[in-house]
């Protein structure tokens, strides 16, 4: 593991990075499981999206060898060049492709390219980015969440945040913003701007979105993706207004619902958005609120016990009790949020949007 040159990693961050390498959540092929079921002592199947997140997280943390095993699995095994598509899992018959997953994978591969200079990662990222723009746009200007493979026929929309167009897709559209500097002749910037306009026009209807508070907590996770992606254009007045409004709404619902059901990733996502928005001059940091969210985030890290638990972050709590899932995305988001919070407290915060897992 090579330590980040711009910050001293905390013991908590080092424990979380060690969890990735020791827990078995990343399998020998390089792919990463969606999460681990503690009660059943088993991993769920390998996920291309979660492997993409792991690449970004491990590159950020300096665990380059593990990151590149994951990136190689994505480029060499998961990507389907014959149909120019990325399924969400590998199986026969081929599972569908998700727009959201594709963008996360692109951002992971771009992290691998920046760390190594290996153009294999950049070329595959470009191919997936073109797949996203070529196959997922609807005639109405929305992004289809799911496509059947190999036909690339859109799945019918459902009244669920993951099964219908919504502002959360902007996080994956960041892939286009990330690709644009490398390929100025491609339509990546135009695609991102189109997704940004749609998200700004629709985001106010996303919350609360459901009468059940537990379902709203899940939607907070999705809405956080929208806020993260706004940081690509932080100085536009309409973006700054959406960030300010969105942060306040997210914090309100998190505090209100959290005692009943709290997701660790929501705590981390909100804290990271606050820190980046302040650093970029978009929304001043509310230190009191950030302190509360950092404490809630840190409370989800677990220590001791078997390797699948020690150092990782749990998915969340119900009525104060830990849920029986160890989650790689929760661990990635939380370790970055807590490291950034430590950096900020020491006056050494240098986080950038490109680093955001």
User: Is 163:140 a contact under the CB 8 Å cutoff?
Assistant: no
Distance (Å, rounded) from C-alpha 318 to C-alpha 281? Answer: 36
Length of the chain: 357
Domain for residue 140, yes or no? Answer: yes
Q: How many domains does the chain have?
A: 1
- pLDDT value, residue 7: 61
In the chain, how long is the greatest CA-to-CA distance?
A: 52
- Give the distance from CA 5 to its chain's centroid: 23
Domain for residue 134, yes or no? Answer: yes
Domain for residue 307, yes or no? Answer: yes
Domain for residue 3, yes or no? Answer: no
Residue 188: exposure state from Cβ atoms within 10 A (0-12, 13-18, ≥19): buried
- pLDDT value, residue 159: 87
Domain for residue 357, yes or no? Answer: no
pLDDT, tens digit, 9 for 90 and up, residues 2-32? 444 456 899 999 999 999 999 999 999 999 9
Residue with tokens 């036909």: 151
- Helical (H) or strand (E) element with 261: strand 261-263
Domain for residue 281, yes or no? Answer: yes
Q: Alpha helices, DSSP H only, in 62-205?
A: 64-73, 99-116, 119-135, 170-179, 188-202
Strand partners, 262: 317
Give the CATH number, domain containing residue 238.
Answer: 1.50.10.10
Q: pLDDT tens track of the chain, all 357 residues?
A: 344 445 689 999 999 999 999 999 999 999 999 999 999 999 999 999 999 999 999 999 999 999 999 999 999 999 999 999 999 999 999 999 999 999 999 999 999 999 999 999 999 999 999 999 999 999 999 999 999 999 999 999 998 899 999 999 999 999 999 999 999 999 999 999 999 999 999 999 999 999 999 999 999 999 999 999 999 999 999 999 999 999 999 999 999 999 999 999 999 999 999 999 999 999 999 999 999 999 999 999 999 999 999 999 999 999 999 999 999 999 999 999 999 999 999 999 999 999 999
Domain for residue 4, yes or no? Answer: no
Segments forming the whole domain that contains residue 26: 11-352
User: Is 230:250 a contact under the CB 8 Å cutoff?
Assistant: no
Domain for residue 36, yes or no? Answer: yes
Tell me which DSSP letter residue 203 carries.
G
Backbone angles phi, psi at 34, to 5 degrees: -60, -45
- pLDDT value, residue 1: 37
Query: Does pTM top 0.75 for this prediction?
Result: yes
- pLDDT value, residue 5: 44
């Amino acid at each position: 593991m090579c330590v980040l040159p711009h910050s001293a990693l905390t013991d908590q961050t080092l424990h979380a990075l060690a969890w990735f390498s020791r827990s078995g959540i990343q399998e020998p092929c390089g792919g990463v499981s969606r999460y681990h079921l503690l009660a059943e002592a088993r991993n769920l199947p390998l996920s291309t999206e979660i492997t993409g997140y792991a690449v970004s997280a491990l590159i950020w943390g300096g665990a380059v060898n593990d990151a590149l095993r994951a990136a190689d699995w994505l480029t060499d095994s998961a990507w389907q060049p014959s149909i120019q598509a990325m399924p969400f899992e590998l199986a026969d018959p081929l599972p569908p492709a998700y727009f959201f997953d594709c963008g996360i994978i692109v951002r992971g591969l771009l992290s691998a390219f920046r760390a190594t200079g290996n153009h294999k990662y950049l070329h595959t990222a470009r191919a997936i980015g073109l797949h996203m723009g070529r196959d997922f746009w609807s005639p109405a200007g929305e992004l289809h969440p799911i496509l059947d493979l190999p036909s690339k026929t859109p799945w019918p929309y459902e009244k669920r945040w993951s099964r219908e167009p919504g502002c959360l897709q902007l996080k994956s559209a960041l892939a286009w913003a990330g690709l644009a500097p490398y390929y100025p002749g491609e339509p990546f910037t135009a695609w991102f701007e189109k997704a940004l306009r749609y998200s700004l026009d629709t985001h106010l209807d996303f919350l609360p979105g459901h009468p059940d508070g537990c379902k709203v907590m899940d939607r907070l996770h999705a809405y956080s993706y929208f806020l993260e992606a706004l940081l690509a254009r932080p100085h536009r007045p309409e973006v700054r207004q959406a960030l300010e409004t969105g942060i306040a709404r997210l914090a309100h619902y998190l505090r209100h619902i959290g005692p009943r059901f709290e997701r660790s990733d929501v705590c981390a996502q909100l804290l990271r958005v606050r820190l980046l928005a302040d650093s970029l001059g978009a929304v001043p940091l509310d230190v009191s609120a950030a302190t509360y969210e950092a404490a809630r985030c840190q409370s989800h890290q677990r220590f001791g016990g078997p390797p699948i638990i020690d150092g990782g972050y749990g998915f969340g709590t119900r009525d104060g009790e830990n849920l029986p899932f160890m989650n790689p995305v929760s661990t990635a988001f939380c370790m970055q949020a807590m490291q950034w919070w430590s950096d900020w407290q020491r006056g050494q915060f240098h986080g950038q949007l490109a680093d955001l897992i």
